[in-house]
């Protein structure tokens, strides 16, 4: 497990309350470094600026949605290694398939607790360590 305090997150959601919820949950788990973006387009700009280690993104957003963001990240040689955890309110199988096919590192359904989030993060980090990019 990497040191939680050294990982910088980008939390992407168009609903600021939700960004705050996610950041608070992350903070509870010791991940204190997080920045926010209000849609995929803003997120991509920030990611291109560098310095981020992990993306937690909502699915349904204006301008550029979470799936488009995910695809853009995977298509960018400089960013494609970034873990992306998708958050959505929907437990629809089409969504899960689309996310998995586009290269999501994980998928979490709202609402969730810090415990659930931690499980997902731990799994993603384990996976990363097994197969370093």
Residues that bind other proteins (CB under 8 A): 14-18, 20-21, 24, 58, 60-62, 74, 80-81, 83-84, 89, 91-93, 96-97, 100-101, 103-113, 115-116, 119-120, 123-124, 126-128, 133
Cβ density class 70-90: b for 16+ within 10 Å, e for less? bbbbbeeeebeebbbbbbbee
The least distance separating other proteins from the CB of residue 40, rounded to whole angstroms, comes to: 13
The least distance separating other proteins from the CB of residue 62, rounded to whole angstroms, comes to: 7
Q: By C-beta, is 50 or 111 nearer to other proteins?
A: 111
Q: By C-beta, is 5 or 63 nearer to other proteins?
A: 63
Q: By C-beta, is 6 or 127 nearer to other proteins?
A: 127
The two tokens of residue 115 are 């415990």
Q: List phi, psi (to 5°) of 30.
A: 95, 0
The least distance separating other proteins from the CB of residue 74, rounded to whole angstroms, comes to: 6
Q: Is 88 helix (H, G, I), strand (E, B) or coil?
A: strand
Q: What is the DSSP letter of 7?
A: P
Residue 71 contacts residue 99 (beta carbons within 8 Å): no
Q: By C-beta, is 40 or 58 nearer to other proteins?
A: 58
Residue 12 contacts residue 37 (beta carbons within 8 Å): yes
The least distance separating other proteins from the CB of residue 60, rounded to whole angstroms, comes to: 5
């Amino acid at each position: 497990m990497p040191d939680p305090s050294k990982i910088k997150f980008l939390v992407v959601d168009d609903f600021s309350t939700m960004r705050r919820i996610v950041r608070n949950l992350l903070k509870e788990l010791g991940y204190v470094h997080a920045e926010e973006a209000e849609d995929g387009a803003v997120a991509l700009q920030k990611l291109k600026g560098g310095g981020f280690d992990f993306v937690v993104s909502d699915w349904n957003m204006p301008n550029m949605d979470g799936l488009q963001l995910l695809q853009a990240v995977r298509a960018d040689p400089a960013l494609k290694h970034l873990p992306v955890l998708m958050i959505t309110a929907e437990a629809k199988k089409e969504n899960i398939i689309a996310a998995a096919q586009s290269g999501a590192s994980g998928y979490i359904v709202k609402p969730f607790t810090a415990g659930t989030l931690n499980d997902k993060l731990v799994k993603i980090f384990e996976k990363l360590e097994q197969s370093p990019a």
